[in-house]
Structure 1
Amino acid sequence: MQIGYLSLLFALVLCSCGPAQPEAPSHESSHAEGAAGDHHDDHDEHHGDEHHDEEGGVHLTAAQVENMDIKLGDFSQLKLNDYLSATGVLGLPPNAYIAVNARANGFVHNVPNYVEGDFVRKGAVLGYLENPEFIDHQQRFLEVSAELAYLRQELERQETLLAADAGILKSVQRLRSEVAGKTATLAGISQRLEYLGIRTADITPENLTDRITLFAPRSGYITTISLHDGLYVEPSTELIELIDEDHLHLELEVFERDIARVEKGQRVTYRIPALGTQTFAAEIHVIGKEFNTENKTVRVHAHLQGEQPPFVEGRFAEARIWLDDQTVSALPEAAVLYEGEMAYVYISPADTTGDEVGFERLTVNPGITDNGFTAVRLIDPLPPGMRIVTEGAYYVNAQEQAGALEHKH
């Protein structure tokens, strides 16, 4: 059995080593090759009719150029602002924070329903503070006022007697001393009552009060509030904290490498990403003198100008610090197109004959963009007789992309 298997295997090896006979081409394969050749010729003929060349250019008819409002032009020499990018937050200086404290010990009553975020105007009533000691201060004021009035009358009488050689000098001197002492005492009581908010001119025995009014010392927004009815407070107790957004400013962090280009008075535009794309204006006011070693920046303060965003302390901002104007070669922003990291414009012959207009790409190095124009530097010179597509470059690019897609298919 094993010998028979080996004999069969040896015979197959001998057959495979024999000369191969050439196979005659069949009628079907010849027909297929002919059809392929015809198809190739048709493709070449069709490719000859395309409006897109192998070098990436694009060709449009004169009618297409007119319908797409494609216009040719040249560089404009414009003054464009260069700028530095910076980030920061909306902030307030220390004196924009107002702490409202009680001016004496007492119990709080009749507090309005204020909550954090409410705006209060200067002089608004925040509540009332009650303490029986306020009555004692007013009573003491009335008593000293009466004593002083009597002493002044007695002094006047004694001075009259002394002038007529009927009085005693020592009595006059004593009365003068007592009048001076009572005058000082009354002045002190008056100042204390005025400090508490009680007008001394209105004090009579019939209208003594045990409460004083808590007023807002300045206008602002409430950031914290711990004021409620029945609360016992002392002068050290902070009842409300207000912030005055009139002093709102922009606190920017400028990198060390850029700080030498920042000057007081430079224009700043900024936006709050949380609020969308709206931009606001500011002006550099103070350049910090302390270097942040952690993030390699210097803090710059800018005062807001014109319309301001709704204030939320610490809200993130993106800013541009505009530098001096400089004259540069510029094109409309829409004329510069981008593909990955590469920027380019389209160029076309200034004079065209026939019904077809050709467009080519020209790589450029874009710079700053301001007021709808972009500073542009050419990497290669503009070929003679060529002009730049200043309007409608988007449509030329769309036609080029469509042609490239057709070519792939």
Structure 2
Amino acid sequence: DLLQGSRVRAGQVLATIRNPDFVQLQQDYLEARSQLAYARAEYERQGELYRQEVAPQKNYQRAQAEYAALQVKTNAQAARLRLAGLPIGGRIVSTALLRAPRSGFVKAVNVSLGQSVTPTDVLFEIVNPEHLHVELTVFEKDIPQVKASQLVRFSLGNDSVSHERTAHVYLISKTISAERTVRVHAHLDREDEQLLPGTFVRAVIETNRVTVPTLPEKAVVQYGAQAYVFVAANTATKAGQATYRLVPVTRGVSEDGYTELHLPAAEQDRPLRFVVEGAYSLLGPRDCHAERSRSISTASSTPFNGAVEMLRQAQHDGRYSLCK
């Protein structure tokens, strides 16, 4: 009655197998056990006679050898019964119980009622969702940068950027595949029931963590070949209004919706407040970019009630953190 996806526990009966050879296995064991009992008694008797110098030593040695040989035979027969899932001793049965070796979920059922099977057939496939690992495929040229204990950030195909999971590199393969890639094995930092074995993931290995100033990509406006950000000016304004000035910046690396920015030297030693929402609305329509840009550059003022954020230098996942 097992179906694909069913949960099983270790030791649970999965199937019953009937085979006439099971009877012979149990018979061989019971016969060997009876012979062992006789050999043990004979061994003890011959030992007593030898110590009393009534029987020769060779009789004692022969009984000792026969007893040892039957011990080996009996143990071997018992091991065969355990492998077949048959009871050791007791009444003889013609069926064996196939039990789950571990807890988990049934991945595949490859047998049906009444089907003949062989010892090499795979009847059930069971996967254990606990202690999942992440197997990454890394290009050969990038492997020198990968080291054990490095942080791995990964997500599923339908996950948002904010829903990332983390792991750490545990093992790096020493072989290169025909596709010139290397397997990297990572351990999850936290168990997640939503993860299933065989799921494809998108992953990034943090090979080098550097703290750099960043802003959301939507805070950077592009005008011509130059990138700019809007900074709140200190000019006094009417209540409910604010003035902003345009500051040229140099873009760096972009990742996860953030862009590394390099400010002019004159702006680096002062606290700044940046526009992170509605920055492009300050430029206005494309047909009046030149006029708006000119007025902003000369007058350094334009009213805007959008959100601003203070950039403070603090390491947080490899970037400066932003706080209102």
Instruction: Indicate whether the TM-score tops 0.5.
Output: yes
Deviation for aligned residue 1:305: 1.7
Q: 2:75 aligns with which of 187, 209, 212?
A: 187
- Which residue number in structure 2 is paired with residue 286 of structure 1? 171
Q: Which amino acid aligns with 1:114?
A: L
Tell me whether 133-142 or 161-170 shows the greater mean CA deviation. 161-170
What is the number of residues matched between the two proteins? 285
Q: 2:23 aligns with which of 131, 135, 157?
A: 135
Structure 1 residues not aligned, in runs of 5+: 1-111
Q: Which amino acid aligns with 1:180?
A: A
- Assess if the C-alpha contact under 8 Å between 2:132 and 2:197 holds in 1: no
Q: 1:336 aligns with which of 209, 219, 227?
A: 219
Distance, in Å, in 2 between the alignment partners of 1:337 and 1:402 is 16
- Which residue number in structure 2 is paired with residue 367 of structure 1? 252
- Residues 321 and 185 from structure 1, CA distance in 2 versus in 1: closer, same or farther, beyond 3 angstroms? closer
- Assess if the C-alpha contact under 8 Å between 1:254 and 1:300 holds in 2: no
Distance, in Å, in 1 between the alignment partners of 2:104 and 2:34 is 43
- Assess if the C-alpha contact under 8 Å between 1:128 and 1:211 holds in 2: yes
Question: Equivalent residue of 2:73, what SS?
Answer: helix
Q: Which amino acid aligns with 2:2?
A: N
Distance, in Å, in 2 between the alignment partners of 1:152 and 1:383 is 96
- Which residue number in structure 2 is paired with residue 113 of structure 1? 2
Question: Equivalent residue of 2:120, what SS?
Answer: coil
Q: Which amino acid aligns with 1:338?
A: V
- Which residue number in structure 1 is paired with residue 302 of structure 2? none
- Assess if the C-alpha contact under 8 Å between 1:334 and 1:394 holds in 2: no
- Residues 292 and 405 from structure 1, CA distance in 2 versus in 1: closer, same or farther, beyond 3 angstroms? farther
Structure 2 counterparts to residues 4-403 of structure 1, below 5 A: 112-115=1-4, 117-161=5-49, 163-164=51-52, 166-167=54-55, 171-200=59-88, 203-204=89-90, 207-245=91-129, 246-254=131-139, 256=141, 258-277=142-161, 278-290=163-175, 298-308=182-192, 309-313=194-198, 315-328=199-212, 330=213, 332-333=215-216, 336-339=219-222, 343-352=227-236, 358-368=243-253, 374-378=259-263, 382=266, 388-390=272-274, 392-395=275-278, 397-401=280-284
Deviation for aligned residue 1:195: 2.4
- Larger strand share, 1 or 2: 1
Over alpha carbons, which structure has the higher Rg?
Answer: 1
- Residues 398 and 231 from structure 1, CA distance in 2 versus in 1: closer, same or farther, beyond 3 angstroms? same
Deviation for aligned residue 1:252: 3.4
- Larger helix share, 1 or 2: 1
Deviation for aligned residue 1:214: 0.7
Deviation for aligned residue 1:251: 0.9
Distance, in Å, in 2 between the alignment partners of 1:148 and 1:322 is 65
Question: Equivalent residue of 1:347, what SS?
Answer: strand
Distance, in Å, in 2 between the alignment partners of 1:375 and 1:393 is 14
Q: Which amino acid aligns with 1:269?
A: R
Q: Deviations over 1:229-269 (max 9, x none)?
A: 2122121112122334424213133472x444332211111
Distance, in Å, in 2 between the alignment partners of 1:140 and 1:292 is 50
- Which residue number in structure 2 is paired with residue 53 of structure 1? none
**What percentage of residue pairs aligned between the two structures are identical?**
26
- Residues 234 and 322 from structure 1, CA distance in 2 versus in 1: closer, same or farther, beyond 3 angstroms? same
Structure 2 residues not aligned, in runs of 5+: 293-324
Q: Deviations over 1:13-71 (max 9, x none)?
A: xxxxxxxxxxxxxxxxxxxxxxxxxxxxxxxxxxxxxxxxxxxxxxxxxxxxxxxxxxx
- Assess if the C-alpha contact under 8 Å between 2:133 and 2:186 holds in 1: no
Distance, in Å, in 1 between the alignment partners of 2:220 and 2:41 is 97
- Residues 382 and 218 from structure 1, CA distance in 2 versus in 1: closer, same or farther, beyond 3 angstroms? same
Distance, in Å, in 2 between the alignment partners of 1:250 and 1:163 is 67
Instruction: Please tell me the root mean square deviation across aligned C-alpha atoms, in Å.
Output: 3.9
- Which residue number in structure 1 is paired with residue 312 of structure 2? none
Deviation for aligned residue 1:306: 0.9
The TM-score normalised by the length of structure 1 is: 0.57
- Residues 184 and 243 from structure 1, CA distance in 2 versus in 1: closer, same or farther, beyond 3 angstroms? same
The TM-score normalised by the length of structure 2 is: 0.70
